[in-house]
C-alpha cells in the first residue's frame, strides 16, 4: 500500500505545482531594463518611480551641491506624494495606507 501511495502523492504534487496563476498587470506599460536587455510588465507604482527618477536625473548639475540637492529632492518628494496617493487609491494594507497618509501630510506642509 505504501508503495502505491507515495507515487500517487508525488504525482499529485507535480501536477499541482504545474498550475500557474495569472499575472496581474495594472497597466499595459512595459519596463525595459536596458542594462540587462529585459522587458518586464510593471504596475503603476513602478511607472511613477521611474518618472520620478527621470525627473531627478534630468536636472543639469549646477556644480553647487546645495542647489543640486534641493532640485533633486523636490522631484523626489513630489514622486513620494504621487506614489502615496496611488497607494491610498489602490492599496490594501492599512499600515501602508496610514504611512502614505503621513507622507502626504509631511510633504504638503
- Show me where the domains of the chain are located: 23-107
Taking only the tens place, the pLDDT of each residue in 14-53 is 555 454 545 444 444 455 656 666 666 667 888 888 888 8
**Mind listing the pLDDT tens digit for each residue in 82-91?**
999 999 999 9
Closest CA to 90 of 53, 25, 45: 45
Above pLDDT 70, what percent of the chain?
Answer: 61
C-alpha cell at 89: 487609491
Bigger pLDDT: 109 vs 102: 102
Query: Is 98's pLDDT higher than 90?
Result: yes
| DSSP H helix total and E strand total for the chain | 4, 2
Amino acid at each position: 500500500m505504501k508503495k502505491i501511495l507515495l507515487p500517487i502523492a508525488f504525482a499529485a504534487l507535480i501536477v499541482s505545482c504545474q498550475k500557474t496563476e495569472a499575472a496581474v498587470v495594472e497597466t499595459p506599460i512595459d519596463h525595459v531594463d536596458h542594462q540587462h536587455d529585459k522587458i518586464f510588465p510593471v504596475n503603476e507604482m513602478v511607472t511613477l518611480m521611474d518618472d520620478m527618477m527621470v525627473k531627478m536625473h534630468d536636472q543639469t548639475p549646477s556644480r553647487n551641491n546645495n542647489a543640486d540637492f534641493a532640485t533633486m529632492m523636490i522631484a523626489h518628494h513630489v514622486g513620494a506624494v504621487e506614489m502615496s496617493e496611488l497607494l491610498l487609491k489602490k492599496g490594501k494594507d492599512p499600515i501602508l495606507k496610514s504611512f502614505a497618509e503621513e507622507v502626504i501630510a509631511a510633504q504638503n506642509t
